[in-house]
Structure 1
Amino acid sequence: MNTKIWSKFATSFRSSSPSLTRNQRWLIGVGSSAAVTFGIGYYFTKYRDSYRGTYLSQYSYSSSYTDKYRYPITVENQLKEALWDESNRNNYQYKESLTKYIEVLNQLQELNVNPLSDEYTRIELKVAEMFEKLNLHENAKNIYLEMLYRFFESLNTPGMVPDELRPELIRKDLRVLIKSLEINKDLEIGKRNLLAHLLLAQEEILIRSPELKKFFDSKREKAEKLVRGKPINASDFQTFVKDENFKFNEDGYMIMDLQKNTSAWEPFKEEFFTARDLYTAYCLSAKDVPSALSCKMTTVQWMVMADMPPGQILLAQANLGALLYLQAERFESDLYQIDSKCKMDPGFMEDDKVVKALRYLRKNRDTCLQMANQCYDSIMKFSNEHHKLRYHMKDQLDVAIPQAIALSTYGKGILSLHDGILNKAERFLLDAISLAKETDFEELLKEAEGELKKTRDLKEHKLSLKFEKDNMETNG
């Protein structure tokens, strides 16, 4: 998974969601770490290889899904012409190229080439790419949606796709899904598509690994408490960044130290976790913090089980801490509303349901803050114990590692500011600014500088109040 934080998706997503709070926009931009770089890039690269004679010419003709297909010579020539038209050598003649790709698709349909095959879908993706280059985004979107519908129906139809080929088709499905979200403007449709295709991939994983199914059935109930508003217990929560999970190789780079069978996730685990991060961002856009949090908690657990790169796990845990803080703010907002009603009507406090609600909200708020602290603390403790992570960040191959450390430091500053411990908040935020500059983490730098200014303004205000109070006592 690409761990570039400020993706094109996040930028356009924020601009289309002006009603979000600052913290929600921050999480979508920085927290989701969802990269929309899979999509059709893989297929385009593969197809460009074919133009050099390394791919298409090796196929023997068959219309079945399981066998490879060799394009007839007339089709191959037309594809070469289409590639030439769209290239810089022919001044990017996208309209001419689009016409030729559509003609090729029509020929493939006449030849009964299986519409699930790479040979067919690769051309569809080229048609969609030309539409995008011509700014005909609605046409491109329709191509993607039609492909997704076809993949989904095929995967859900017993016997349509051989068992051994299902994982590869799921990977293709997720890539097209992620690509389609780049140009999607309807957040509700995007969220619905994400959920449907994620559940399909998730079901495939659990079918292939009964052990995973048993494990996650037990974990899901705890995560869902956050959605149902049930009391949660911080003692049930465990972070994943610890020495027993990570180690360093001979070159000093961090690697996972989990001897797990990850075959159930292959070959689509990168796409699967990218899609899950996107789903978290969509939940946040709808201000559905509990669902975003539940999704992220499960995602981090799945990432560990899938043996994902350590930097991505660190960053996911840091993002989980940010979501826990958002959930705590949500509980705090509910508390404030009830407290306001009680001040207006003291009799309101005599209602047992109100008393019980206040108890639950306070407990869950405090627990979420405690869990957020745990997320940040374990990352910072790990980085402090392994100085290479902290002091040689630019040497890290995985940029997500220093970003996770910087984000955790920022998170500790925000928690300290929330608790009114201004000197501590200032120290953490200054450190976060230093880390952000060191790693060119521009988005975090901007946020941390804004919070630092707020912290210093509050300190100045407190000093001013203290000075006025001292003067009054002296003059009184």
Structure 2
Amino acid sequence: NYQAYYDLHHPKKRNWKRTVIGLAALSLTGYGLYYYYWPHHTFPTSVAKLLRKGLWAESNKENNNYAGALQFYIRALEECNNLEIDKLSDEYTGVQLKIAEMLEKLNLLEEAKNIYQELADLYLSTLLSEKIPIETRPHIIQKDLRIVIKLVHLSESDPTYCSNLLLTHCIKAQEEVARRGGSLASNDSIVHPSPKNHDLFISYPVNSQAWFPFRDEFFIARDLYISTCLRLGEHLLAIRSQITTLQWMVMADCDFPDIIMCQFNLGSLLYLQAEEYESRELNAKKNNNEKDIQLFKEEKDECLKSATFCYESILEAVKSFPPVISRDHPQIVEALALTTYSLGVINLHTGNLEKAKELLRRSRLRAKGINNEELVAEAEAELKKLEKEEKLLELKQKENN
């Protein structure tokens, strides 16, 4: 069923409450911090010497001696302190991150988290102080968000902490976008439209430069915030946040495949919320509560309508691309297969069997074209359900005749 498919295509160790981009984004974390792990900046000779020894110790040639490397990096940081190197500089924080990396490799995760937290606090206090030059703020925000993403990755067991951390640091990035002419409100409570509005994809003013160089980190953090909302049971907040994220991605001039995958995730969240309302509707029927029956039915129908709108908008948007581009872009092809499948499930759910059959067969064909065996299996499972529904209808018609 749709629930099983949603689970299937979300990262492992996560239930349906994790959005697909949220954890796919975490795979970028290593790359983001690697830039700072590798001491490619200009270091004083005494510091560079210790760093080279640390790099040698952690290499395969020294059998990955992380404990030995850690000692060299600690000494390098002490030397940075002796030389009074700026603690906000890439050089100083780069050494701190190498220490944290070694602690992680030694499975000393709490100690590593303490270093990341110290850095996050430093960056936030610096941004709050307004004392740094305007031209350096975007780079500080980029480094800050990378650290926050890493902290969330290490703190999955505490979603409340993750939510507060992400919201606090994302707000500073939002304020910076607004400061740079991005026409962006700085508070989630202000910018969230109602999930019932169907003007989600109207044109928004684009100012991509206002988001650089921290655009990618910001949207990774936003996706993680949505994931934490779901884990905390804040499903409607997650939907509103996904809507806002989608609007901001358009304003930030993100790549088209990323935007349509964000839109697909929104449709998935809306469908899952429809399932939740349907469950409440059934409970209300058991209790003969006519008022709640009507309320939850209306909410369910609205979510299904919005989810359908999301999916159909993706199909319409892809039509604007030349077929050769759509066909050769893996992410677009995958989005089309997923979207077609999702529309098929909705039509099956609402009893439109002929349309559901057409869509599910098309999604199966597209899934085969990209060798997505999991989606093929899910589409075939839904088609089997559809066949059973058709047989039941035939039996009912015979009985009535």
Q: 1:366 to 1:464 in 2, by over 3 A?
A: closer
Shift of 1:135: 2.3
Shift of 1:358: 5.0
**Higher alpha-carbon deviation: 457-466 or 280-289:** 457-466
Write the distance in 2 (CA, Å) between the matches of 1:200 and 1:293: 22
Write the distance in 2 (CA, Å) between the matches of 1:211 and 1:468: 58
Contact 1:289 1:326 in 2 (8 A): no
Shift of 1:147: 1.3
Residue 266 (1) aligns with residue 212 (2) = yes
Shift of 1:102: 1.0
Residue 415 (1) aligns with residue 346 (2) = yes
Q: What code does the residue aligned with 2:262 have? A: A
Q: 2:281 aligns with which of 311, 330, 335?
A: 335
Q: What code does the residue aligned with 1:402 have? A: V
2:133 matched residue in structure 1: 162
Larger radius of gyration: 1
Shift of 1:433: 2.7
Shift of 1:105: 1.2
User: Which structure 2 residues correspond to residues 27-46 of structure 1 after superposition, within 5 A?
Assistant: 28=18, 30=20, 32=22, 34-39=24-29, 41-45=31-35
Shift of 1:37: 3.9
Write the distance in 2 (CA, Å) between the matches of 1:46 and 1:144: 13
Q: 1:331 to 1:43 in 2, by over 3 A?
A: closer
User: Which structure 2 residues correspond to residues 298-377 of structure 1 after superposition, within 5 A?
Assistant: 298-342=244-288, 349=290, 355=291, 358-377=293-312
Write the distance in 2 (CA, Å) between the matches of 1:332 and 1:385: 35
Write the distance in 2 (CA, Å) between the matches of 1:383 and 1:291: 28
1:172 matched residue in structure 2: 143
Write the distance in 1 (CA, Å) between the matches of 2:397 and 2:255: 55
Name the SS of the counterpart of 1:35 in structure 2.
helix
Write the distance in 2 (CA, Å) between the matches of 1:190 and 1:215: 17
Identity of matched residues, %: 33
TM-score w.r.t. length of structure 2: 0.86
Contact 2:364 2:379 in 1 (8 A): no
Q: What code does the residue aligned with 1:36 have? A: L
1:116 matched residue in structure 2: 88
Q: 2:380 aligns with which of 431, 437, 452?
A: 452
Aligned residues: 393
Write the distance in 1 (CA, Å) between the matches of 2:389 and 2:308: 27
Q: 1:213 to 1:465 in 2, by over 3 A?
A: closer
Contact 1:376 1:408 in 2 (8 A): yes
Write the distance in 2 (CA, Å) between the matches of 1:210 and 1:88: 47
TM-score w.r.t. length of structure 1: 0.74
2:356 matched residue in structure 1: 425
1:287 matched residue in structure 2: 233
Q: 1:108 to 1:214 in 2, by over 3 A?
A: closer
Write the distance in 2 (CA, Å) between the matches of 1:269 and 1:45: 16
Shift of 1:213: 3.4
Q: What code does the residue aligned with 1:93 have? A: N
1:193 matched residue in structure 2: 165
2:179 matched residue in structure 1: 207
Write the distance in 2 (CA, Å) between the matches of 1:147 and 1:299: 26
Unaligned runs of 5+ in 1: 1-5, 15-19, 57-69, 227-231, 246-257, 343-347, 350-354
Contact 2:120 2:144 in 1 (8 A): yes
Q: What code does the residue aligned with 2:357 have? A: E
Write the distance in 1 (CA, Å) between the matches of 2:133 and 2:150: 25
Write the distance in 2 (CA, Å) between the matches of 1:144 and 1:115: 14
Q: 1:33 to 1:189 in 2, by over 3 A?
A: closer
CA RMSD of aligned residues (A): 3.1
Q: 1:38 to 1:372 in 2, by over 3 A?
A: same
Shift of 1:272: 0.4
Residue 237 (1) aligns with residue 199 (2) = yes
Write the distance in 2 (CA, Å) between the matches of 1:174 and 1:332: 38
Residue 378 (1) aligns with residue 350 (2) = no
